[in-house]
């Protein structure tokens, strides 16, 4: 049977059965019977297969030539995830009501902004590789469960893998998010994003958008949306659940908490980091607990949130602070044995305005770099210090090396992560002109970029 024959048969089956994409159906094939939800076809999908979302949340492809019958199920099928036994959260409280059933009356409205990445990608069956192809609408339509959570307005802002995201893209995303919030139409904004640099973008939005009246939640996927093992569906469901039900505003990142399909963690935008190349639980909160866990439609809020700078939702859209500009001329240098100190000279010669040095341990570099650092500071270049250790804070007063660096004018950034420090410096230099204002802002806690207490999850 040819591809054209398959399409003709499929069209006839759809017509006689009265089914459409998004319907709950039973499909009888020559080999088995399947129960699930019809998922829209994509331009680059395998033309010989129909995609069905099973009750367990996974997708399967069914050969069109083997389909004998499609029957629509009158009652809406609820896809579920195998949660196993009830999970007890250490350090979390049940601070939110369970997610309501929005099947009949939807009261929440979310904006879904797509920027690209794996969550907006699918398999190109021509090459066998993953390619960016899904639009925000396709992503929304492929997850029927979202209809029970909120009215969602999808829109494509960018179509970029995250390695292609630049500071100017942060400005575009921040401006678009601000526009959506300023309209007063939405209870939250979801930004789908590639995972590799998502923590950079979440930090950028945390500084560019302050005093937010509603949550802004970034979400991604480690595996493309059309793969059977994709984490895109549950991550997006968790992000939307948090955005509609949390009483707190701010910028967050929603991703798998464990490798299993049961819990989604919502991390603080400036305190999160990608720690694994491919695992579903690649994202971890650094020096703090995740702000919230989403499990079985319930939101568990960290007990630690009272120690952090967070505010509850509010209706004062006009009080939102929007500063979406970023300065490109900032570098992040990782010190290592054998580090070529001329890298610092290069930053000066190329017109950089600030350098973030990721030092060893408490924030140290070799004494061989002292002359270059002294010269940089003398020429008006800001030199900030973070640690290449994932957990803990810088402390330049413990050893004589650290004290020497302080005397040279190096500014420690406490337990700010290196990625967040880079983004904050880019933001500061674009928005503050006076040296004293830059230093004061960089060492002032604005969006939970550093914390007084350290709690390791």
Alpha-carbon separation of residue 115 from 132, 136, 173, 208 (angstroms): 10, 9, 8, 17
Give the model's pLDDT for residue 232.
86
Mean pLDDT of the chain: 86
CATH 3.40.640.10 applies to domain 96-322: no
CATH 3.40.50.40 applies to domain 330-442: yes
pLDDT of 196 higher than 60: yes
How does pLDDT run across 238-247, given as a tens digit for each residue?
A: 999 999 999 9
Of the candidates 79, 195, 197, 394, the residue annotated as catalytic is: 195
Of the candidates 141, 187, 196, 262, the residue annotated as catalytic is: 196
229 pLDDT band (50/70/90 cuts)? Answer: low
Give the model's pLDDT for residue 219.
97
Find the range with the poorest average confidence among 30-44, 129-143, 189-203, 212-226: 129-143
pLDDT of 2 higher than 70: no
270 is catalytic: no
* CATH class of the domain comprising 3-72: mainly beta
Q: What is the DSSP letter of 227?
A: S
Find the range with the poorest average confidence among 4-13, 25-34, 77-86: 77-86
Beta-bridge partners for 92: 302
274 is catalytic: yes
How does pLDDT run across 17-71, given as a tens digit for each residue?
A: 888 877 888 998 988 898 888 876 554 455 678 888 777 666 788 888 889 889 8
Nearest residue to 293 via CA among 256, 331, 323: 256
122 is catalytic: no
Give the model's pLDDT for residue 143.
77
448 pLDDT band (50/70/90 cuts)? Answer: very high
Stretch(es) of the chain classified as CATH 3.40.50.40: 330-442
Q: What is the DSSP letter of 289?
A: -
Stretch(es) of the chain classified as CATH 2.30.30.520: 3-72
Give the model's pLDDT for residue 49.
80
C-alpha 311 chain-centroid distance: 20
Give the model's pLDDT for residue 121.
52
Of the candidates 115, 118, 197, 420, the residue annotated as catalytic is: 118
**By three-state DSSP, how is residue 263 classified?**
strand
How does pLDDT run across 164-188, given as a tens digit for each residue?
A: 999 999 999 999 999 999 999 999 9
Beta-bridge partners for 152: 110
Tell me the percentage of the chain whose pLDDT exceeds 90: 62
pLDDT of 347 higher than 60: yes
Q: 36 or 254, which is more confident?
A: 254
Of the candidates 180, 274, 353, 424, the residue annotated as catalytic is: 274
Residues 6+ apart with CB under 8 A from 9: 1, 64, 65, 67
Give dist(CA 45, CA 52) in Å, integer: 13
Nearest residue to 379 via CA among 340, 352, 357: 352
Section 138-164 average pLDDT: 86
CA torsion through residues 184, 174, 163, 281, sign: negative
Give the model's pLDDT for residue 14.
81
Residues 6+ apart with CB under 8 A from 360: 335, 387, 388
Give the model's pLDDT for residue 56.
65
Enclosing H/E stretch for 167? helix 167-182
């Amino acid at each position: 049977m040819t591809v054209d024959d398959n399409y003709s048969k499929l069209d006839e089956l759809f017509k006689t059965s009265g089914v459409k994409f998004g319907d709950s159906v039973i499909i009888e094939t020559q080999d088995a019977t399947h129960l699930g939800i019809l998922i829209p076809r994509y331009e680059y999908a395998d033309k010989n297969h129909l995609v069905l979302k099973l009750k367990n949340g996974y997708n399967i492809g069914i050969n069109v030539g083997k389909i004998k019958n499609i029957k629509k199920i009158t009652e809406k099928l609820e896809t579920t995830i195998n949660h196993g036994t009830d999970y007890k959260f250490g350090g979390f409280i049940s601070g939110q009501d369970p997610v309501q059933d929005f099947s009949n009356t939807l009261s929440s409205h979310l904006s879904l902004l797509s920027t690209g990445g794996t969550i907006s990608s699918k398999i190109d069956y021509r090459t066998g590789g993953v390619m960016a192809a899904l639009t925000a609408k396709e992503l929304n339509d492929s997850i029927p469960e979202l209809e029970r959570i909120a009215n969602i307005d999808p829109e494509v802002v960018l179509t970029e893998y995250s390695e292609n995201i630049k500071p100017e893209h942060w400005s575009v995303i921040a401006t678009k998010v601000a526009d959506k919030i300023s309209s007063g139409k939405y209870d939250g904004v979801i930004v789908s994003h590639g995972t590799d640099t998502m923590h950079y973008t979440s930090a950028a939005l945390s500084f560019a958008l302050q005093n937010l009246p509603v949550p802004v939640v970034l979400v991604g996927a480690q595996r493309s949306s059309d793969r059977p093992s994709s984490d895109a569906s549950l991550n997006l469901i968790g992000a939307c659940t948090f955005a509609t039900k949390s009483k707190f505003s701010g910028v967050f990142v929603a991703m798998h908490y464990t490798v299993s399909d049961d819990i989604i963690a919502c991390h603080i935008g400036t305190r999160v980091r990608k720690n694994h190349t491919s695992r579903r639980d690649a994202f971890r909160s650094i020096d703090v607990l995740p702000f919230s866990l989403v499990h079985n439609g319930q939101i568990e809020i960290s007990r630690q949130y009272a120690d952090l700078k967070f505010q509850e939702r509010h209706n004062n859209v006009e009080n939102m602070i929007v500063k979406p500009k970023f300065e490109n001329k900032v570098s992040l240098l990782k010190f290592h044995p054998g580090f070529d100190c001329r890298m610092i000279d290069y930053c000066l010669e190329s017109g950089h305005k600030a350098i973030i040095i990721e030092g060893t341990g408490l924030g140290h570099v070799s004494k061989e770099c002292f002359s270059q650092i002294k010269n940089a500071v003398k020429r008006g270049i800001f030199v900030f210090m973070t640690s290449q250790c994932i957990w803990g804070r810088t402390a330049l007063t413990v050893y004589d090396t650290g004290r020497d660096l302080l005397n040279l004018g190096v500014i420690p950034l406490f337990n700010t992560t290196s990625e967040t420090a880079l983004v904050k410096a880019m933001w500061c230099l674009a928005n503050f002109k006076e040296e004293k204002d830059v230093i004061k802002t960089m060492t002032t806690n604005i969006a939970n970029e550093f914390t007084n207490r350290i709690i390791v999850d």
